[in-house]
Amino acid sequence: MSQDQKRTPLYDLHAELGAKFVPFAGYAMPVQYAAGILKEHLHTRAGAGLFDVTHMGQVRLIAPDAAERLEALVPGDITALAAGEMRYTMFTNGRGGVLDDLMVTRRADDVFLVVNAGCKDQDIALLRDALGAAGVAYDEDRALLALQGPGAVAALARHAPGVADLGFMKAAALTIAGTKAWVSRSGYTGEDGFEISVAHADADGLARTLLAEPEVEAVGLGARDSLRLEAGLCLYGNDLTPDITPIEAGLTWTISKRRRATGGFSGDAVIQAQIADGPARRRVGIQPSGRAPARAHTSVVVGETTVGEITSGGFGPSVGGPVAMGYVDRAHAKAGTEIVLDIRGKRHAAAVVKMPFVPHRYAK
């Protein structure tokens, strides 16, 4: 383990639980615990999984007109958010490509962002350019825990009764077993659940409190990836890049009617044209017919022509077989289209399918 890797405040707890660490965006993060990725994945869909996602960036926009100014960087409707409401959106570049995807919550006194670990330096620089250095606060002393699964609400409600009343994509300041926390009803597994922001000093105690609940087991980043893949959610760097637009990615739903009409964000002309005319390629679900997983960069072929590429793929533990997503030319993007995957030089039959692979079970 390299010395210069950062550790989250839960590092010692991960080690106690038998974590296998991997380097991820400069951090030593648990890819799995003793149970292994398969069991951790299935447990999250049956009970509740506790994930350490402290490597993600927690940023507060404290400029007075932060919501308005953020809208110059993202196509999401931020000014329409009431305090305590959150939204999924993305930073775009001048070509309409995605620089990062993020969660935005409007709060009484600021706008709270959660951005990807690997993009946070870029994002903070972008925000400081747009809002002024004094308008952007990066909270490096905050930990982020995700509690995901059908058992999450019961487990968390024993320590914070208010969470049961929190609607999907809503957030509030709550006290959990005496710890001050910012809690949102959100996540990235397709399941009901919460993301909990606390001070570094409180993270270990809170994690141990939650792990003591009968529903809850620690779950690593390996299962986080297989859960989000089955849920049809994008992984930044694979399924979203600076060369892929939100429209190609099937994220048009994140752009409100007002923002489609008025634009005013980076790459707006490209994105508005793609909404009007349809993109040349689209992100689709891909279901291999056999047992062989098709990983990222696998070519998608129709006849003798390469029509696309897988961007995320692997084994879906809840599906019990391989699942993938990728980009294909629009002529071949319709669900039911038969395609061929070139896996290590061998042709494997597959089909374009609707996502998610496992139905979302978010709170109402």
Partner 1 sequence: MSDVRFTKDHEWVRIEGDTATVGISEYAQEQLGDVVFVELPTVGADVEAGGDAAVVESVKAASEVYAPIGGTIVEVNEDLEATPGLVNESAEDAGWFWRMEISDADELEELMTTADYKAFLEGLD
The least CB distance from residue 27 to partner 1, in Å, is: 17
Q: Which residue, 36 or 118, has its beta carbon nearer to partner 1?
A: 36
Q: Which residues contact 207 (CB under 8 A, 6 or more apart)?
A: 10, 13, 50, 52, 145
> Which residues within the stretch 296-315 sit at the binding site for partner 1 (CB under 8 A)?
314-315
CA–CA separation, 217 vs 229, rounded Å? 20
Q: Which residue, 36 or 356, has its beta carbon nearer to partner 1?
A: 36
Asked if 11 touches partner 1 (CB under 8 A), the answer is no
Among 44, 54, 226, 311, binds partner 1 (CB under 8 A): 226
CB 234 within 8 A of CB 355: no
The least CB distance from residue 219 to partner 1, in Å, is: 13
> Which residues within the stretch 133-162 sit at the binding site for partner 1 (CB under 8 A)?
none
**Tokens matching residue 228:** 């989000």
Ranges of H-type helices in 164-297: 200-211, 221-230, 257-262, 268-277
The least CB distance from residue 40 to partner 1, in Å, is: 10
CA–CA separation, 231 vs 220, rounded Å? 17
CB 197 within 8 A of CB 118: no
Asked if 57 touches partner 1 (CB under 8 A), the answer is no
Virtual torsion, Cα 312, 241, 219, 209, nearest 10 deg? -160
Among 17, 38, 211, 275, binds partner 1 (CB under 8 A): 38
CA–CA separation, 342 vs 194, rounded Å? 39
Q: Which residue, 39 or 200, has its beta carbon nearer to partner 1?
A: 39
Q: Which residue, 220 or 267, has its beta carbon nearer to partner 1?
A: 220
Among 32, 184, 254, 266, binds partner 1 (CB under 8 A): 32
Query: In the chain, what's the furthest Cα-to-Cα distance?
Result: 63
| Stretch of 81-89, 220-228, 256-264, 331-339 lying at the interface with partner 1 (CB under 8 A) | 220-228
Asked if 25 touches partner 1 (CB under 8 A), the answer is no
CB 189 within 8 A of CB 4: no
Q: Which residue, 130 or 296, has its beta carbon nearer to partner 1?
A: 296
Asked if 291 touches partner 1 (CB under 8 A), the answer is yes
| Cα angle value 141/192/36 (rounded, 5°) | 75
Instruction: State the residues that interact with partner 1 by CB under 8 A.
Output: 20, 31-32, 36-39, 41, 222-223, 225-226, 291-293, 295, 314-315, 317, 322, 344
